[in-house]
Structure 1
């Protein structure tokens, strides 16, 4: 376990890290109740943490400043009930939520995610029970910039089509049942999209909003040709950062792995 003040002259730490698999709900609750300026809470791989602890995370219960970062990766006892409590208690402040390898999170829990109005980063990698239905909920996070869905084997081209419409999305990692159809959909969305004026200029990389695509699935040359064709017909604004201009395509990085 580690406390950090992040070089601030305050008496109360803003960061709490614990990667101890022996830690329980009661001990973590006792610790965080004493931290009055907590912003960053990392409980990754604390395998005994359950939804019961999450009922005490909210500022109304603990009288804490609202969390901006919460990492529950590897906390396999966290379920849809926990995700609901997170969405209810941190809806106005949480910006980054990591829930890798939370096997008991399903589409039911993701239905509450749109309440997290300020969320910029969501990591659900390894959550094998989520499906395309859950992606429709994720697609309502209008400020989301980073989405990690690696090893979510039930997410298909349909789910990709949903999240591809996120207006602020820059980084998409998706290892699922993705085919050329999914890439064709991305290309079609990019070719006909008009980004809302409130999207910051740095995000507008040509007609498609993505800076990085990392896709794993049954992808062939057909799918990649569609992505290339999108770039060939795009005109990038002069204010797009030079590092992002890799030829005519609007993507800074496209990584794909095709399965046999």
Structure 2
């Protein structure tokens, strides 16, 4: 009896029984971030383990706090220090902060500095020299940056997969040559508004970077058919998203090249490319019919019923389509749907400022499309709410119809 009583009084401290690796295994089984935070409240040892295992962090911090964060979150993989547009008056991260980040977060793979207007080449040089494991960098709208600092990133971060530079207007072809030379695994590149980029730079880029899946050159007004054709040939098997908004030098040659080489293309934005015609769009629809999901071609003024009919007939997996301001498109573009057995997959359709499309055309579309979630018919004089009600058009409860511009637009085609 005595021995039994002695054994029942024995207590075991969990911190003495479990090793650090065993506690990490317990932590790994917790799915929600809240549960992981609670894990760290047990004691200092558990807090230390929880901190060192954390992989993602979003913060607003200066140099002192960044040093404390680096000591605590020593194995951090993703750090988001981006600024919202509403705080555009505040510089956010500055060059001295980047020095702390480069020395303190050696395991960092993803760094988001979007809208941090206080950083310059001096700070980005630290990123290039100190974060060799970096795979993704977003410095969109960091307007002080030039080729000097970003080329240092290309040279020091050879495993870079994603680079976003929207609004970095001082970037030139020199950076694209540095990426081509050093970053052969690059998959995503955002260059929106980098107006100094030319066809020559794109050609140099894809000489070394042939695994690009996403390329955004919206508003790069010096890009023409030569550059796009170079990309389509070099990245034929990988390219899935290409954005060319307001690249007014783009014409049929670019689209024909995409149709010939890029069968896996899923998203194409050519809004504002006014030299594109029916012939190239129809060939693209036929060539990419199995994979094309998003197509924006607003303000392509040469587009007619012929193109739209072909797109609707061929691209059965298309989910979003914008033909706004294509003034030659009429109800006739939808006539071919009557003979189709399969339903359309369209979720977003924008036909704003198409004066020749009427309620009749929208009715034919609805008969073959139950999946529509957003329809933009602003400034279509023959399509009004009263007219749709009078014609007995039945929109699903989940479909938002924008008659006047009062609804928020989905960003799928931006």
User: What's the TM-score bracket when you normalise by the shorter of the two chains?
Assistant: 0.7 to 0.9
CA–CA distance in structure 2, aligned partners of residues 57 and 257 of structure 1: 40
Give the Å deviation of 1:156: 1.8
CA–CA distance in structure 2, aligned partners of residues 189 and 130 of structure 1: 20
Cα pair distance change 1:190/1:38, threshold 3 Å: same
1:10 to 2:10 alignment: no
Provide structure 1 residue ranges, at least 5 long, that are not aligned to the other structure: 194-203, 232-248
Give the Å deviation of 1:178: 4.1
The 3-state SS of whatever aligns with 1:167 is: coil
CA–CA distance in structure 1, aligned partners of residues 218 and 230 of structure 2: 16
The 3-state SS of whatever aligns with 2:272 is: strand
Counterpart selection for 1:222 from 285, 306, 310? 306
More helix by share: 2
Give the Å deviation of 1:170: 0.7
TM-score, normalized by length of structure 2?
0.49
CA–CA distance in structure 1, aligned partners of residues 269 and 253 of structure 2: 15
Q: State whether residues 271 and 297 of structure 2, in contact with CA within 8 Å, keep that contact through their aligned partners in structure 1.
A: yes
1:99 to 2:191 alignment: yes
Give the Å deviation of 1:124: 0.5
1:71 to 2:164 alignment: yes
Per-residue CA deviations over 1:120-153 (Å, capped at 9, x if unaligned) read 1111011011111211112121201111111212
Partner of 1:246: none
Q: State whether residues 281 and 307 of structure 2, in contact with CA within 8 Å, keep that contact through their aligned partners in structure 1.
A: no
Cα pair distance change 1:259/1:185, threshold 3 Å: closer
1:134 to 2:227 alignment: yes
Q: State whether residues 54 and 86 of structure 1, in contact with CA within 8 Å, keep that contact through their aligned partners in structure 2.
A: no
Per-residue CA deviations over 1:144-168 (Å, capped at 9, x if unaligned) read 1111111212212222222233122
Partner of 1:258: 325
Partner of 2:103: none
The 3-state SS of whatever aligns with 2:215 is: strand
Aligned length: 222
CA–CA distance in structure 2, aligned partners of residues 23 and 133 of structure 1: 34
Partner of 1:27: 123
Provide structure 2 residue ranges, at least 5 long, that are not aligned to the other structure: 1-53, 58-72, 77-106, 328-414
Q: State whether residues 112 and 137 of structure 2, in contact with CA within 8 Å, keep that contact through their aligned partners in structure 1.
A: yes
1:173 to 2:266 alignment: no
Partner of 2:152: 56
Counterpart selection for 1:159 from 241, 246, 254? 254
More strand by share: 1
Cα pair distance change 1:227/1:75, threshold 3 Å: same
Give the Å deviation of 1:48: 1.4
1:119 to 2:212 alignment: yes
Give the Å deviation of 1:65: 5.6
1:213 to 2:295 alignment: yes
The 3-state SS of whatever aligns with 1:84 is: helix
Indicate the structure whose relative CO is greater, using CA pairs within 8 Å and at least 6 residues apart. 1
TM-score, normalized by length of structure 1?
0.76
RMSD over aligned Cα, in angstroms?
2.5
Partner of 1:196: none
Per-residue CA deviations over 1:70-117 (Å, capped at 9, x if unaligned) read 1111110001111111121112x1111111100100111111232212
The 3-state SS of whatever aligns with 2:226 is: helix
Partner of 2:181: 88
CA–CA distance in structure 2, aligned partners of residues 28 and 65 of structure 1: 15
CA–CA distance in structure 2, aligned partners of residues 65 and 107 of structure 1: 24
CA–CA distance in structure 1, aligned partners of residues 74 and 263 of structure 2: 38
Partner of 1:198: none
Cα pair distance change 1:29/1:168, threshold 3 Å: same
